Amino acid sequence: MRVIGAGLPRTATTTQMIALEKLGFAPCYHMRNVLMDLEKELPLWEAVLDGKPDWKAIFGDAQSTVDWPAGRFYKELMEVYPEAKVLLSVRSAEGWVKSMRETVWGFFFADSPMRHLSCARGSVDPLWQRYIDLMMRINWDEQTGSMVPVEDTYSDEGFEEVMRRWNGSVEAAVPAEKLLVWDPKDGWEPLCDFLEVPVPDEPLPRTNDTEAFKDGIMGGAVATIDAWWQQRERPAESLHGASV
């Protein structure tokens, strides 16, 4: 592990994943790894929360990691990988709160199709329900040392303070020579200087906007619910006894 991402979700972490892999720090471990193999990944992260982490089993040959759930444990990872540099991605507090409301926060708390479809998927897909429970513990459960108490997110002002508090804690915990505070709007140069690699002759990628996030969650839910519906035991008679 050569780069540990400590930036919050919705700070262009997918862009960072692609950028780091282009710069030679591949593979980059990301939330995609969890979502692509829930059966394998969920027990590993549940063990982390239970105080029994197996970081080698989680990261394998990964050269970098960004996004949650790994970023939530950047302090622990600094001890396991003492030579790794730390990347703290940032953006405006107002923009971050707006994005979180419509994506990560909305996934758990909004009265929205995305949340309700996700809950419906959880009722027919035990692995998805375990994923919801895991992320709830990591993000919002104070008993597991979560990112933030839920009540701090009820107002935009309180939510903005969450970001400032997190970023400040990272800057205080990581030695300055090992830390880059990076806004992806600043482009390749600060990142490449920090990692001591050449600047690519192409624009920094921009990916996984709010609509893409919601489409991914809702599309996965609809597909799972539809598969369950098609495979269910069908009644011999339909409503009011009429033939099917």
- Is residue 127 in some structural domain? yes
- Is residue 237 in some structural domain? no
- Is residue 238 in some structural domain? no
Number of domains in the chain: 1
Residue 135, domain CATH: 3.40.50.300
Distance CA 230, CA 137 (A): 32
pLDDT at position 233:
80
- Is residue 232 in some structural domain? no
* pLDDT level of residue 207 (50, 70, 90 thresholds): confident
* pLDDT level of residue 126 (50, 70, 90 thresholds): very high
* pLDDT level of residue 244 (50, 70, 90 thresholds): low
Which residues form the domain of 140? 3-227
| Residue linked to tokens 């709007």 | 185
- Is residue 61 in some structural domain? yes
pLDDT at position 148:
60
- Is residue 139 in some structural domain? yes
88: part of which helix (H) or strand (E)?
Answer: strand 85-89
208 compared with 192, residue with greater pLDDT: 192
- Is residue 103 in some structural domain? yes
Percentage of residues of the chain with pLDDT beyond 90: 82
Distance CA 166, CA 6 (A): 9
Cβ burial, residue 7 (10 Å; 0-12/13-18/19+)? buried
- Is residue 239 in some structural domain? no
pLDDT digits (tens, 9 = 90+) for 135-182: 999 987 765 545 566 777 889 999 999 899 999 999 999 999 999 999
Residue 27: is the preceding peptide bond cis (ω within 30°)? yes
pLDDT at position 201:
94
